[in-house]
Amino acid sequence: MPERLYDVVIFGATGFAGRLVARYLAHRRPRPGVRWAIAGRDPKKLRELARELARELEEPEPPILVADSHDPVSLEAMAAQTTVICTTVGPYAHHGAPLVAAAVAQGTHTCDLTGEPQFVRRMIDAHHAEAEARGVRIVHCCGFDSVPSDLGVWVLQQAARERLGAPCLRIEMVVEAIRGGFSGGTLTSLGNVLTEAKDPQTRRILGDPYALAPGAPRGPDRGLQVGVRYSEAAGAWTAPFMMAGINERVVRRSHALLGLPWGEGFSYHESMRAGPGLRGRIRAGTLAVGLGLISVAMGTPPVRRVLQATVLPAQGQGPSEASIEAGFFKIHLYGWLEPGSGERIEVVVRGRRDPGYGATACMLAESALCLATDPLPERAGVLTPATAMGGALVARLDATDVQFEVLDAPTQG
């Protein structure tokens, strides 16, 4: 790639998530060395943000680039100036496609926060082959969905090879504890996925557990958990996990991109712990019903608009600084060499601060730095965090806000 003016440009820097990413990069980027700029559609908002960041850091203002997600000329001009574009302009199904096209045309890597399976599938169909041929890494899902799951599986499989001599054929992820909120942008993106699900082609993608691994042999997984289920591994009743719809498919795409090294029978499942006993079962049922009701409400645009105008955050708004600081997550991955076998490996992934905002700002910013500056696997195309960055991103996150731990003495079961 020819020398570019910038290493990383944050596109959408004036939005709720974008400001957190810009602030993370402003404070925590290595200095000297990383050349960065903020970008967006509104020059006035960008100038205000640049002034704010300069005041906080007692540094010169970061440079500003103006581009609109629907103006391909402005996107290509932005892409031509940087090694990596880190974009928080969503919903990605509305705004993301022209940027990916511009990045592939200009040989620029991208990372983003999408959790929209139908958008990722469209980008795979439209751009994977060309991006691969041009050596461009388009890395979707670099936030809470799906970095902890995708890299958690990657870490678990490395440990399984080292300790058990083979990768695990079955992995189960259970969200043990989580505290976080939602921004208006996330709710709008979620609502858009549910609204688009009314289209039969999109519904097919959203109903297919292997939708992000087109062309690869299909494994045994049948679909998402919808009701309550007892997890022997966690020793607790579980409810469906809201992000499983994207996370499970990202893990399966990683497996397909790697050439199915974990076996054609590899199976992956996600859920959320509700607790043991009757209380746990009732709680799991309540969570499952609540999730169903949220999905119906957010998938009905007039209801969503009323909720966002009254009780829920509107676009541009999100959790307070105090609640972002108070947030956290802990997920547990259990892997078995064979389904039903006693020998297993366990990995815990812990994140500080609100998973969707504090920890996500860290995961996305570190992904951008990783793509811009780290030695990476010789792989290109429409990739996943694990296949694009693997151990390089694990090492970065371990040194910051998201830690991966392989348990020394896994429980038997």
Ligand X SMILES: NC(=O)c1ccc[n+]([C@@H]2O[C@H](COP(=O)([O-])OP(=O)(O)OC[C@H]3O[C@@H](n4cnc5c(N)ncnc54)[C@H](OP(=O)(O)O)[C@@H]3O)[C@@H](O)[C@H]2O)c1
Residues that bind ligand X (CB under 6 A): 12, 14-18, 40-42, 45, 68-70, 88-92, 95, 113, 115, 143-145, 183-186, 189, 315-316, 318, 356, 360
Q: Nearer to ligand X by C-beta: 17 or 256?
A: 17
CB of 224 to ligand X, least distance (A): 17
CB of 68 to ligand X, least distance (A): 4
CB of 276 to ligand X, least distance (A): 29
Residue type, 149: S
Nearest residue to 271 (alpha-carbon basis) of 286, 287, 253, 250? 287
Q: At what angle do helices 117-134 and 184-196 cross, to 10 degrees?
A: 90
What DSSP letter does each residue of 5-28 carry, written as one string?
SEEEEEETTTSHHHHHHHHHHHHH
CB of 184 to ligand X, least distance (A): 6
Q: Nearer to ligand X by C-beta: 115 or 240?
A: 115
**Residue whose pair of structure tokens reads 């600084």 in the numeric block:** 321
H or E, element range at 282: helix 277-298
What CA–CA distances, in Å, run from 401 to 180, 319, 357?
Answer: 15, 18, 12
CB of 270 to ligand X, least distance (A): 14
Q: Nearer to ligand X by C-beta: 152 or 318?
A: 318
Give the strands of the sheet with 381-383, arranged side by side: 64-66, 36-40, 6-11, 82-87, 109-112, 137-139, 381-383
CB of 338 to ligand X, least distance (A): 33
Q: Nearer to ligand X by C-beta: 191 or 280?
A: 191
Q: Nearer to ligand X by C-beta: 88 or 271?
A: 88
Residue type, 400: T
Please say whether the beta carbons of 36 and 10 come within 8 A. yes
Q: How far is it, in rounded angstroms, from Cα 93 to Cα 188?
A: 11
Structure tokens at 310: 């009254």
What CA–CA distances, in Å, run from 373 to 7, 109, 142, 160, 381?
Answer: 8, 12, 17, 29, 18
CB of 116 to ligand X, least distance (A): 7
Q: Nearer to ligand X by C-beta: 51 or 218?
A: 51
CB of 112 to ligand X, least distance (A): 8
H or E, element range at 267: strand 267-275
- Report cis status (omega within 30 of 0) of the bond before 375: no
Q: Nearer to ligand X by C-beta: 351 or 390?
A: 351
Q: Nearer to ligand X by C-beta: 82 or 183?
A: 183
